[in-house]
């Protein structure tokens, strides 16, 4: 298990602001790929791996399409092909992945 350091308050504030902006701007888009191309989502990815616990916490609240960001930031993909396109199952896979590493 890796050592997990809690994100700084500044990072949490920045993440929350970006996540709120992203949710609002992309809420009516049908395509996950369009949502993840939004500048606010890209800015979340640019926060780096310290944002991973915050993203996992978002996923625990609801299966929003954070999967692309997690793949980019971790290099992992714990979602089997059979669960592709099934957000609840994909979120559960990522949360299990995070819990195994002390990140969720």
Partner 1 sequence: MTPDLPAILSAAFPGLASDAAEVLRLADPRFNCVAWAAGLSDAIWWPSDPDAYWPPEAPDELSVAAMVAALNTVGYTLCTGSGLETGHEKVAIYARDSAPTHVARQLRDGRWSSKLGRDCLVAHATPGGVEGAVYGSVAVYLRRPVAANA
Site residues (vs partner 1, CB under 8 A): 26-33, 35-36, 62-65, 67-68, 84-88, 90
Our CB check for partner 1 shows the closer of 29 and 43 to be: 29
**Based on C-alpha coordinates, what's the Rg of the chain?**
13
* Torsion of the alpha carbons at 51, 86, 78 and 37, rounded to the nearest 10: -40
* Nearest C-alpha neighbor of 103 from the set 65, 63, 46, 55: 55
What's the closest the beta carbon of residue 1 comes to partner 1, in angstroms? 27
What's the closest the beta carbon of residue 19 comes to partner 1, in angstroms? 13
What's the closest the beta carbon of residue 41 comes to partner 1, in angstroms? 12
């Amino acid at each position: 298990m890796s050592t997990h350091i809690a994100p700084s308050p500044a990072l949490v504030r920045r993440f929350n602001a970006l996540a709120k902006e992203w949710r609002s701007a992309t809420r009516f888009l049908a395509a996950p790929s369009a949502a993840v191309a939004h500048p606010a989502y890209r800015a979340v990815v640019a926060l780096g791996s310290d944002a991973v616990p915050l993203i996992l916490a978002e996923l625990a609240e609801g299966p929003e399409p954070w999967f692309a960001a997690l793949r980019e930031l971790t290099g992992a993909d714990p979602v089997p092909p059979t669960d592709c396109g099934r957000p609840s199952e994909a979120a559960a896979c990522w949360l299990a992945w995070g819990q195994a590493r002390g990140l969720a």
